[in-house]
Structure 1
Amino acid sequence: EINVYINDPIRSKFSLYWKNSDLYCLKGVVKRAFSIQATSAPIERVFSQAGIIMSPRRTSMNEEVFKSLVFLRVNQNMI
């Protein structure tokens, strides 16, 4: 499906393209990745996960490793 999308010469508005698309697997990924959250609960979960990751045992962790761990933890259901 990725190759079909990349080679598709017809490009319309982003939302219209995906609404009418037959690329069902990619459509699901796009819907999850680009949907707008209606509440603040997702960011609260991010801060909660960040607090769990940054424990007293991990005080020497550098910023990039911390960011990567938070990103992976929060997005593990998409991997």
Structure 2
Amino acid sequence: MWFKRRRNEYGCPMCGRLPVIKASQTEKYHESRKVRTTLTVYRLQCPRGHISTSWFSHAALASRQWKELVDEYKGKDTK
């Protein structure tokens, strides 16, 4: 028996799954100060790869763009 997948309000508009957070780190060495800094960037992506956000320095900004992206897709569906 097939069960209908319950769509989450801010899940992927195509499959209904919640996004996963992807993080990437970059290390940079500063010669003049003799220090190493680490930059972490985040993005939200559908687990099946349908849609994703841009890379952001804070996870909260990626989450905000995900909500705007889902709202935009829902707006196109209703027209």
**Structure 2 length-normalised TM:** 0.31
Structure with the larger helix share:
1
- Is the strand fraction higher in 1 or 2? 2
Question: When the two structures are superposed, what TM-score results if normalisation uses the length of structure 1?
Answer: 0.31
